[in-house]
Structure 1
Amino acid sequence: MRDLDELFLALSKSAFRSKFRLQGKDLVYLHDKGLPTVIAHAEDFIAKRLAPAVIKNDGKQTPFRGHPVFVAQHATACCCRGCLEKWHRIAKGHELSPDQQAYVLKVMERWLRDQIA
């Protein structure tokens, strides 16, 4: 797992990752539901879509829009186990530990807070 300042600096240098912004319905949803509710959704998505050791459709399990968390996952490279390995140094092939899940949640929460500001 990486230092968050180091990670966000690296993400800002990626043309693909840095293009993601909350817009339209996703931004309205975040404002209407509030950050605590969206973070609770993120926690559930992490547990179901990222935490298992083997994910049947890994690399394709996260839509690009439809929920603020999906956008945050792509913006922060928390969208699949391959990106978690490449960007966050979290190896594939094992279930994410509670600490790793908390780290992923912290990464996405920081990005979402930046979108609100």
Structure 2
Amino acid sequence: MRELDELFAALARSRFRSSFKLNAHDRAYLHAKGLSLIQDHARDFIAKRLAPAVIANDGKQTPYRGHPVFVAQHATACCCRGCLQKWHLIPAGRALSADEQAYVVRVLVHWLENVD
């Protein structure tokens, strides 16, 4: 797992990762529901879609839109196990630990708190 300052500096240098922004609907949803509830959603999404050791549709399990967390997952390279391995140094092929899941949620929340 990487330090957040180092991670976000690297993400900012990626044209693809830095291109993600919340649309008006996602921004309104985030503000209406509040960051605490969105963080709960993130925990649930990560536990169900990213944490298992084997994911049948890995690399395609995270939609590009429809929820602020989905956008944050792509912006922070927390969208699939391959990206987690490449960007966050979390190996694929095994279930994510509770600490790793908490780290991913922390990364997502950090992005959501700081998105333009």
TM-score (norm 2): 0.98
Partner Cα separation in structure 1 for residue 37 and residue 100 of structure 2: 21
1:43 maps onto 2:27 in alignment: no
Q: Kindly, what percent of the aligned residue pairs are identical? A: 67
Give the match for residue 82 of structure 1: 82
Q: 1:113 is matched with which residue?
A: 113
Runs of 4+ in 1 over 4 A off after TM superposition: none
Aligned-residue Cα RMSD (Å) equals: 0.7
Shift of 1:86: 0.3
- Gap runs ≥5 in structure 1: none
Matches of 1:4 and 1:95, distance apart in 2: 22
Alignment map for 1:58-73 (pairs within 5 Å): 58-73=58-73
Residue 23 of structure 1 corresponds to which residue in structure 2? 23
Describe the superposition over 1:91-116 as per-residue Cα deviations: whole angstroms up to 9, x where unpaired. 0000000000000010001000002x
How far the C-alpha of 1:24 sits from its partner, in A, is 1.6
Unaligned runs of 5+ in 2: none
The TM-score normalised by the length of structure 1 is: 0.97
Shift of 1:17: 0.1
